[in-house]
Amino acid sequence: MEKNTQHLTEGAVIAALYVVLTLASNAFGLSSGVIQLRISEALYALAIFTPSAVLGLFVGCILSNIIVGSILIDVIFGSIATLIGAFFTYKLRNRPILALIPPILSNAIIIPPILKFAYGFEGSVWFFVLTVGIGELLSCGVLGYLLYLSMKKYGFEA
């Protein structure tokens, strides 16, 4: 019972952090749209350390997308992209650099058609793959890896 409470609490804290960091990105117009740089995506690195991050990131993404005014299809499929990325990050936790690739790929594959066909942004899906992929590479790949290194430095175990 105590372990379940710990996982639930960790997941809730991660979800809350995801929302706060997404809102910070949103203040600069970077949490959604053709060019996205969600600082919150760095939190995928937490899935290397705890399975609680998988659900926490998923719930945080759902809440963030609702709060920033995303349309329903984006709330659903954007959150599924996050769930897929977080799940495979956790599964690859013993290989930290590889573990941060699934969220980059899941978002770069799932989000661009939403931008093109649901929101009707001008441009090609391939251009959006590039813009979303670069944003994910920076937030999840670079910032996420820095978060991972910081946590390892302070004694967190994968």
Average pLDDT, rounded, for the chain = 96
Task: Grade residue 152 by pLDDT with cuts at 50, 70 and 90.
Answer: very high
**Are the C-beta atoms of 41 and 24 separated by less than 8 Å?**
no
User: Nearest to residue 132, comparing CAs of 92, 90, 81?
Assistant: 81
The pLDDT assigned to 33 comes to: 85
The residues, ordered by sequence, that sit 6+ positions from 40 with a Cβ below 8 Å of its Cβ are: 17, 18, 19, 20, 21, 22, 25, 60, 64, 139
The pLDDT assigned to 106 comes to: 98
pLDDT tens digits, 10-26: 999 999 999 999 999 99
145 vs 67: CA distance, rounded Å? 27
User: Nearest to residue 111, comparing CAs of 46, 32, 19?
Assistant: 32
**Are the C-beta atoms of 107 and 138 separated by less than 8 Å?**
no
The residues, ordered by sequence, that sit 6+ positions from 121 with a Cβ below 8 Å of its Cβ are: 33, 34, 115, 128
**Are the C-beta atoms of 31 and 69 separated by less than 8 Å?**
no
The pLDDT assigned to 3 comes to: 84
Q: Using the predicted structure, report yes or no on whether residue 136 has a pLDDT greater than 90.
A: yes
List the domains of the chain with CATH numbers. 2-28+35-153 (1.10.1760)
The pLDDT assigned to 96 comes to: 93
Token digits of residue 130: 């590039």
pLDDT tens digits, 48-80: 999 999 999 999 999 999 999 999 999 999 999
Kindly state the percentage of the chain with pLDDT values over 70.
99
Stronger pLDDT, 158 or 135, i.e. the higher one: 135
Q: Using the predicted structure, report yes or no on whether residue 107 has a pLDDT greater than 90.
A: yes
Token digits of residue 131: 């813009």
Q: Using the predicted structure, report yes or no on whether residue 2 has a pLDDT greater than 90.
A: no
Task: Grade residue 1 by pLDDT with cuts at 50, 70 and 90.
Answer: low
